[in-house]
Chain A
């Protein structure tokens, strides 16, 4: 409504201006034709043209200019007739030239002005788009000039940091908000970037005044460099939601992994019981024989000492098994560290040794000495190895004829990363099943849940690696995984 009224008022003033311009033209014409003064009154038409530039279109201005020229000639003819007197003819010519030149310049100016206006409009639009996109994507932009610490922040960047408009954004102000654990890291990074003029990539947490935590990702790269200053431009993203979701996903993954680990332990219960029972039996027999050596007419101290030493060794062995089982069943956040997978495979095979024997399977391991260390969580990787061995064993449980054999290869891949293969000589995998093997709830076992391999995949992928299966039906199956070497790039 308002705009309609304003529009109407605008049209009204526009019309008034036009009428005023026409009246002025007529007045000048009257003055020109009626005046007896020997001056070029028609030059005043210039004013009409200058006014009309703002109120008429280009064509309108052209018409007015032509009209003014016509009126000038008309006034001349009406007062001087068709004869040409030097003075008045010269005045008329000057007037006409003034009108034409003014019209030309005015039109040129108006074109430039309208171009500018158009660009301004575009600029406003693109700025609005940018601001909209920034607020939609929770990405702010910023700039700063090293070594001074003053910063330019976009509206969204300010919103992310929850700065008000009066607050002057500086690096120090920003660092003040950063979580105490991350502050030193961010300061060093900014300092380094300032001296090296290198791109910056940072992720840190900030604490809002009300205690909320946000995770921000900051990217910046040098933009304009001089010998001692460097201007950076960058993007600031609020990745809190993504990080929260990621953490929740990791949590549920590690919980699921824990559950399947415990389930696996259940499957291995008989083996584990045996692993504990064996040293306990040795402890008891050693203790009893020790007593017997003591109770002889001539106690044999050497035998007693040996028996006690064996008791200690076997008690430790039992305790090791318990420790290992507890490590597997522990419900803990994955802890990443240097892992020697060959060592882990050895340890794991001890845990499933009985199960292997019970199934009359020969387990062979080949460890390449050059196999690299990797970065990962021992418990989770052990879970993958146990899972693959159990799968291999189960695959062969109905396999009659021919030796049952599980082969574990730990090697260095061509890319110097780690490769592990668990191969069985069971019936193999149907080709149509291979693409679905690692999908959750996919199983070919009568009592399977179909989570084992899905979890293996999520564990291996979380470690930056890859897992795949291959099989020649009738000739067994191979499960392979590769993991990036410690400190190497992801695969």
Chain B
């Protein structure tokens, strides 16, 4: 919801300031907010504060490889889609970029539309990804409010066991199982049992 209101923000990381400025102007012309960085470390510091909707990353940075950055981003819990750009793209490099987690790989000089498309796709995926993440985090926080017994009952229920079977399995009365089950559905804010099943799927990843 929030994402749709404020324009998306893209971080550009390239040690060549000219490239940073050019990309920034291009993206800004389509209404995207842009921040540019000439080194990986500065970018990481900023991205820890505000997670960008997309990162445009040069494969080769002064003294460091852009290909190492995705790993460092994960280590710092920065989950942003990455578009790699490079001065000379060979197959080896593009494979390495995709393996490192790139959504796209563009060779300089690229057409404006190519970059905009890649960024748009990334932002959309990023939005979806983050909606997903948000949902997951909400679910996790709700799940954390469940008592151990409620969790047990919920687990068995969504795996398809009848209340009677669960009661037998846990050595409880059927009524108690029913109460736990009702409790779990209420705490998870699940309207129907089917919703609870979906939630369990999401939670178990």
Contacts and interface: CB of A to CB of B under 8 A. Distances in A.
Nearest to B27: A289
B18 A313 contact: yes
B30 A281 contact: no
Interface extent on B, as a size class? 20 to 34
Interface residues of A, number: 32
A279 B14 CA distance: 13
Interface of B: 16, 18-19, 21-23, 25-26, 28-30, 60, 62-63, 65, 87-88, 108-112, 115
Given A278-B19, A278-B87, A280-B109, A286 B25 contact: yes
Contact of B63 (A288, A317, A357): A357
B109 A270 contact: no
21 contacts: A277-B108, A277-B109, A278-B16, A279-B18, A281-B22, A281-B108, A282-B18, A282-B19, A282-B22, A283-B22, A285-B22, A285-B25, A286-B21, A286-B22, A290-B25, A296-B29, A303-B28, A303-B29, A310-B22, A357-B62, A362-B63
A432 interface: no
Contacts of B22: 281-283, 285-286, 289, 307, 310, 314
Nearest to A306: B25
A270 B93 CA distance: 15
Contacts of A310: 18, 21-22, 25
A346 to B, nearest CB: 16
Given A273-B88, A282-B21, A310-B22, 5 more contacts: A278-B87, A281-B19, A289-B22, A307-B22, A313-B18
A293 B25 contact: yes
Top 6 A-B pairs ranked by shortest CB distance? A289-B26, A281-B109, A288-B112, A281-B108, A285-B22, A292-B29
A270 B88 contact: yes
Interface of A: 270, 273-274, 277-286, 288-290, 292-293, 296, 300, 303, 306-307, 310, 313-314, 317, 354, 357-358, 360, 362
A310 B110 CA distance: 17
Contacts of A286: 21-22, 25-26
Nearest to B15: A357
Nearest to B25: A289
Contact of B30 (A273, A292, A358): A292
